[in-house]
Structure formats: C-alpha cells, structure tokens
Structure 1
Amino acid sequence: MDERIPAPVLDPVDGTVVTLPGAAVVDETAAFRPAILGVRGATTAVTVVLCSGAFADADWGVIAWAVVVLTYNIVRILQPVRIQDDTASLLRVLGEVAIHVLAVAATGYWSSPFVFSLLTAIMVAGFARGFGFAVRVGAGSVIAVALPYLLTEGATTEALRTSLQWTTLLLLVAAVAGYARHINVEADRQHSLALDRLGRLSDANTLLFALHRVAQSLPSSLDLDDVLDSTIRRVEDLFTYDVAAVLLLDETGGGWRTVRSEGSRIPSTWVDRSLPAPAAQAARTGRLVHEPDLARAPGTGLGVESRCGLYAPLVGRERVIGLVAVEHTDADHFSGRDSDLLDGFVAPAALAIDNALWFSRLRTVGADEERTRIARDLHDRIGQSLAYLAFELDRIVKADGRGDPVGPALERLRADVRGVIGEVRDTLYDLRTDVSEQSDLPTTLRDYVERVEGRSRLDLRLDLKVEARLPLRQEREVFRIAQEALTNVERHSGAERCLVRWWCEESGALLEVRDDGRGFAAGKDGRLDSYGLLGMRERAASIGATLDVDTVEGVGTTIRCHVTEAAPA
C-alpha cells in the first residue's frame, strides 16, 4: 500500500478540498531523519565491529565491501537522503537497497557483517514510500539473499531457520517503518486540516466582525432615506471602490431607480435592458455576481470607466427589491473575500430597506384610512345635518315669500342649528380622543361610552377587568377598533342595548362589543367593509391581534378582538 501524500485532501468535516504539501516538493523523510540517522549510526558501528575480524585476517573481499558500505553510510550521515515523489528519489532508495543486498550476498549471506546495514535501507524505503513499498523491498531483499544462500548451503534445517529468522526480522522492520509513516502522514494531515480550518475560521471571524459592525450601524429607524444613507455609508466603510450605487426596483413603472450613488455620475433610472449584464444577472437569479473584467461582459458597468464590479441583489420577502453595486476602474480589483463580505452585508441591508419600504406604504395607507374615516364622520353627521338645514332655510324663505308666518319654523331651525353645533363638537371630540400615558384604555373607553350613551338612546354597559396594561401603541389601536364598533352600533345596527367588555391580563386581552341590533346576513362582506370592518381588521393585524365577527340577522352582532402578543411600543 503506497502512502504517498496526495496533493488534494478532503476535509472530513465539511468536504472541502484542503491543499497539503505535495510529495513532489517536500522531503518525505524529513520527519524521520533523526530516527534514520540513529539507526544508520548504530548499524554502521555494528558493521565496523563485525568487520574487525576481516581486517585482522586480511579478507580483502570483505574489506572492499566494508569500505563501500561504510563510505556510503558516512556520506548519508553527513548528507541525509532526500526523498521526493519523483523517479530520481525512487532510484536513490532502490540504489541503497541494491548496494546493501549485494554487500550481504557477496560476503556470506546471512552470516555477512553487513546484514544489519540492510535494516537501514528497508527503513528508508518504508519511511519514504509507505508500508506497501517497504514490504515489497523487504521481500525482494529476502529473496535476493535467501535463495542463493539456500542453494549454497542446502535446504538444511539450520539454513531454513536462519533464513526464516532474518525474513521475519526484515519484514517486521518494513512493517514498523510503514506504520510509522502512516502515523506521521495522518498526523501531518490532521495538522494541515487544523491549520486550514483555523485560517478559514479566522477569515470567517473577520467577516462576521465586519458584518456585526454593519448590523449594529444599520439604523433602527424605519425612515427610508435614513436607511439608504446608512447603507451607502456602510458600503463606503467596507470596500475600496470608484463607483457605488443602491438601486431599487420601481414596481409601478418597471425598471430601476438609482436612489443612492457615490463616485462617477450614473443615470437616475434604468430599464431592465439597459442594466449592465452582471447587474441584470444578479437581479434575475437573486445571487451575487462578481465580474472581474467588465471588458469581457456585454456593455459596460454602471460607471463608464468601470472595469470590474460586484453586484448583489437585495432580497426582501423572497423577492428582489433592489441591487447594491460596487465597481472599480482596475480589472480584478475585488477578491473573493470582498464577494463574501458584500454577500453577507446585503442581507441585513435588504431587511432594513424592505422594512422601511413597507412602513412607508403602511404610513400612507394609515393616513388614507384616517382621511376616509374623518370624511365619513363628517358626511354621516355634519354633512347630512347641514343639508337638512339648507332645505329648511329654503322652505322658510318660500313660506315668507308667500306671507306665511315663519316664527315657529325659525325657532325649530335654531334648535336644529344648536343640534348641529353639538354634533360638530362631538365629532371633533371623538377625533381628538385617544389613549395616552396619562389616560389609559379603560379611562378613555369609559369616557367615550358615557358620551355615546348621552347622545343616543342606547343602553350601554361597560365591563372592565384590568390586571395589566398593554403597550401604548396597542392600546391606541384597540381603542380605535372599539370606537369604530360603537359607531356602527350607534348609526347602523338599530340596537337598543350594547355591552362593551375589556378584559386585560398578563396572558392576553379581549375587547368585545355586543349589540342586539338587526345584524346582517352571512356573505355580505362588501357591506361589512362599508361598516369599517376592513379598517378594524387592519388595525388588529398591525398589533398582532385577531378580529372575529359573529352576527345573526335579526338577533345582533358581536365583535371580538383578541390580543395575544405584545407588539413594539
């Protein structure tokens, strides 16, 4: 089994490719050099001791091989072998093994004084190329020595025992060297993975810190201009650019509006086909587009002189509502880190811009709703009364022209005018009445019920059970819902009795307005909206409440508003 380190390694945690030092450029025996030098020095010393008898007996064959083997080992001690993943390194390993095998075979086989030097060659093979290579080298060395030895000595018990002992020893050394390399490779791999993941975590921490600053600096204000100003300032803090712009989708006329820009002068409006190709791609796919060289893209960037750019979509409520673009006049200016930073930045920016856009819409809708309600109150109360007064004046003028007495008619008219003045006063009072920090919902509701009961023939009963107080914004909307419901009872229901219940506890609150009027048939939703139920539902939804309407024609109507969660004050 060849255990050379491959260049690409997969991270076992997330599967990403980690680049480790390749065997083609790294000394694979460097980690084992102390062990190799120690074994080589020990075997060299043993070889010298074992060769001492040959020097005494003037055995020139052994002496010649001793000079070769000792010279080679001394050179390798002074200049350790360097093994890389190339043919030259493979030949160096095989050459060392061949030298020692020849020395052993030429000087007595297993009785050779150089047999221990063979251990070093096999260890180098195992450390350099792994377990499989070391076993193959060890087996080849055993065969190269054992076969001639057995042919020379004969297959005697002693010869077989000696060959088996040295075979076991050499293969055991090969296995130990291969296993040591396996452990070292795994340790290096884990170390490299740890360093790589630490580097990526460091980059991620840098990005998160930058995005944290962005999220903190994005305004809590729901004013669109403030949010856009803050967005372009954060882009200026995070990137080096020549052109930066925030574009918003024009949902009414189509195309795009440049709502904020820095750097080069760019058009204030864009149609889809006039957007730069990378920006159009980002808007179409909903993903960031990094164009390192705008010269390769059709057309140009937002800026005429721009040569590279980043284009990130602003996605709100699962749809693209705008774009953030940064461009530079130098090609390949933005890096992958810039792409990651912009991709992370647009998420909180899109949330802030989308919230500001919706708040602007709700503010417009709320203003329209209030204008509609005021107009309806003026029409239902004052408008009809003034029309009646105009008819009475016409009748009195005609009667006076005929010579009929008009005194009693004028007295009645004066009383009617006083009534209209009272209606105007009541209407203005109702419009001004609201919940405040000083006047909570039960107090405001009690005053309003008393006024309605005083000006109508309704028998109104108020049931209050208050253990807590809601946030001011919720109490104001609940009061407007109660006001609208009582207006419907007073003007349209024909009821004689009405119950107004307000129960507020820590776990939730309930507003109930129940009358014994004429009710209406099921399915008359259009008529329901004309009675203001649409506005009541919108008010309930804006504070996280639910509105239920129970009605039976000829029996009465019950409106219930359940508040189950606290909305922001």
Structure 2
Amino acid sequence: MRGRPHDGAIREPDQRVAALLEIAGVISAELGFTDLMKLLAQKTAQICGADRCSIYLVRDGALHPVMSQYASGRPNPTMWRALKAFGPVAIEDFPGFARALRDDVPVVFTDPGGVVPARWVETFRIRSGLILPLVRHERRIGVIHLNNCESERAFGADDVELGGAIAVQLALLIDNARLVQETRARLRETETLLAVGQAVNSTLDLTDVVRRISRATAHVFGADSCGIYLTRGDGTVESVAGHGVPEGWLGGREGFREIIAILDDAGRPVWSDDVPNDDRFTHPIFRRVPLRSVLVTPMAAKDEIVGVLLCAWERQSRAFSASELRVVEALAAQAAIGIVNARLYATSEELAVNRERVRVARDLHDRLSQTVFSLGLKLDWCLHHAAGHPGLEASLAEVRGQAQSIMSQMRQVIYELSPEISPALDFAARLRELIEDFEDLSGVRVDSVVDQPLPPLGGRLEGLLFATLQEALANIAKHAQATRVSLALATEGTGVAFAVLDNGIGPPPGFAVEQGAGHGLRQMTERIRAIGGRIEFGPNTPSGFAVRGWAPISVPSRSSSS
C-alpha cells in the first residue's frame, strides 16, 4: 500500500509530463557535467517522490558517487562529505546495486536490510528506496539510487516507470558525455605527445632534450616541477636538467635501484597524493623539499630503463586517472627514445673527434716523426765529419739538440692526442720505412726478421717499440762504426721479443747503463721497464753492440704507467 505522497513530489499526470519535459530541457542545456548531474538528481527525486537521489557511475569495476541531491534542493555538505568519505563502492558489497546491474532490472525495497550495507543505512537514515540501472547498449554505466530518509513512503509502479524513463535518458546523456570526454582526452593525449615529440625532435643536445621534455610534461599536468634522472653505468641516476626543479634535486647522484624499487614489477608509473604519509616515498630525494603529491615514471627504450621522470606538486593534492597514466607512459616512452637518440648523437660526435685525433696523431707519427728522425741521423753524420771545425761542430750540435727536443715534444703531443694509437696502423710498414731511412743515410745494411703476422699490439705498445728500435738504430749510426745490423722482432709468450745487433766497435770495457751510459740508452730502459718489460745492453759476438728486450702485449694505460 502506498504511503502519502512526498510534499515535494510531482503527482499529477500533467505535472509529471511537464517535469519530464523539463528534464529533457535540462539534458539539452549547455551545462557543465556537475551542474547537469545536480539538476537531474534533484528533478528525478521530485518526479519519483523521493527525498533524495544519488547517482553512481561504474569506473574500474567499482561504483563512484558523482552526485546526491535532495528533492527540495537544500544543500547538505555533511551528507555529501560522508558519501565521498566512503569512496568508490564495491558492487558486490551492495546486493541491491549488484542485482540491478546484473539483471538490468529496477530494485524496490521497503526494508534496506540485505539491500544496502548497514553503515549506509545508519549514516544516511535510509528507510525505503528504488535502485535503477543505467545501461546503454548492454554496457553497465551506473545506477540511480532514489531513497526516502524523512518520509515513510514506499515506491510504486508509477515511480518505477517514470524512473526507468529518466534512467534511459540519463544513460544516453552519460554515455554521450563519456564519448565526448574520451574524444577530448584523446585529443589532449595527441596534443601532449605532439608537444613532447616536437621537443624531442627539435634538438639532439642531451641537456636541451631533457629540459624541453621536462617543461612540456610539467605544463601538461600542471606540476610545480618536473625533473628527469638519467641512468649511469655505476648504478646511480643523475639529474641532468629539469623545469622548476628545486635546488636540492639538481646535480646529485641518487641510488638508482632504490628509486626504481618504488615502481611496481610491471614498470608502470607510481604516484601519491599524500607523500608525507606514504611509506613508498621515504627516499631522501622526496624529503629534501616539502611535497604533497608526486608521480614517478620509468623511461624505457628497448626493454632498458634509461631514466626516471619525476613530477612533483608542493601544495596540491594531485590524483591520476587511468587515462592520464596512459598518457604519462606514452610520453615517457617517447622521451626515452629522444634521450637514447641524443646519447647516440653525443657518442657519434665524440667518436668523430677521437677519429680526427687519431688521424692527426697518425700523421705526426708516420710522417713528421720519421722526417725529424731522418734529420737527426743526417745531423749525426754531419757532426761526425765536422770534427776539427769547432764553430761548425758547435752549431751542428745545437741543431741536433733542437731536433731531439722537437722529437720529444712530438711524442708528447702524439700521446696526448691518442694515448692508444689505432692498432689498425701498419706497424710493419712503418718499421720498413725506418730501416730504409737508416740504410740510405748510414750506408749500413740491415737484415730484419719480423714475425708475420704480428699479433695486435695496441697503439701504445707499437709506439714504445717503434721508439726503442728507432733509438737503437740512431745509436748505431752515431757510435758503432758498423757495416752490418741485424734486427729481429718475434712473439714470445705473452709478449714480443726484440733484438738489434751490430758488428761495430762494441761498448767500452766495463760498460754499464747505470754507470753513466748515454741518455738514449737510459731513456730506452725507462720506457720498456715502465710497461713491465725488460731490456739488456752488452757486447755482441764476435764484435759489436747488442740490444735485447721483451715487452708485454697487454700494456697498461699511460696514466697508470706514468
């Protein structure tokens, strides 16, 4: 049996038709979504004779309250805060809601027990109700919950019929609004990705790329700051640049694994709208600056994390919808590609510079150093024949000293340009040129035996061996008075053995390098020993002088051997 009509209910047929027409007018009005839901909830409560009308929409498998209004239109902030405090409603926790959505039927009740949870009955003083499903093309959109909290009136067939007609219109309205919202969201996503794409493609400078990505991301999401931390080979991440980034976030290196551990196993973005009370964000980087909200997104390219995108809000409580997180992921993926490209460009630029350095070092080593060496040998010949002419001899000795200085400086420049001169250089060819220059200048024949092919020696070892053999031949030209020279180079164990022998006058009696031998021999000794090798000097049999030694193929870098 029906109770008395609600004071605000529209009961007469003409009034109901007028009310339905008014609802149609409301639906057609150009109002914002919230204002539209407010008017529809109030008018629906009036038409169906309810004290109150609440509207819930399905999102991510749960019901979210979007509006609740009294038929009288009076505001009740306390009631609305209580409704929002309950948060999203699990459908299975509300048997009446679950049945309406599952079976696509209205649910009428005069006893809320078993239909609505007890805590809702107590909080909102529900006495009777009508639950109407919102369905569009078999898609469950939400529910309308009409209830009485002040009157004892029960809902009848007329209310169900009227409410069902309104539910059809409301479902259509909400579905259209959803389509419009999704279209706008997709448009925003496209604009966002386009903006980031333009930022990424506008430059190949890594710092500039990071700064532009950060600026575009902060603008899209209204963040107070946005920074990008890039991975390093030592397991840390370093802030290269950002937009509005606080002082404490720039320049430092943070534990990469600790920050990445914040992310879930799938490597998706993680956010918080209450950083101070969120146990996931206890890393020191999140405590340097007072933060309210934060978003951490991995940037991955080819299954490798190249960095972390970090957006922060100092005062605003910022939550993220599923669609926004999809935008963030797409944005981070695009940014990662831009960062990888910038790194590759920087690497290619560095390689180009190194190639040019090696080319210059090669030219100095193969051309100028050979020329200066030949000049030194010719000066030694001139000095030998200038004996008895003190003035000329002194001038030639001075020029000879200058040539030696030029050679020393040139070697220093070669090492500074390319400490590890390219092993692709033909060491054997350079050695043949050295021998030919020596033979042309001194008239002494050289018998050479060189293993073919030699193993890859590396640029530094090649340079040291070449300088040693060069010095040995120069000493023969100056002092030996030899008519024959033998030069050998062969692989021995983990290194290279070398020997330069002549048939000249040999060393003086009691000869020892440590007892005042020439500068050239001491320099050869220091050079070979510095790389872990050995060298010996002494008489040859039956006459002459012998230089024998061994050098490891694995040569330490110049900085470690200095």
Tell me whether the two structures share a fold, i.e. TM-score over 0.5. Answer: no
TM-score of the aligned structures, taking structure 2 as reference length: 0.39
Structure whose CA Rg is larger = 1
Q: Where is the helix percentage greater, Structure 1 or Structure 2?
A: 1
Q: Where is the strand percentage greater, Structure 1 or Structure 2?
A: 2
TM-score of the aligned structures, taking structure 1 as reference length: 0.38
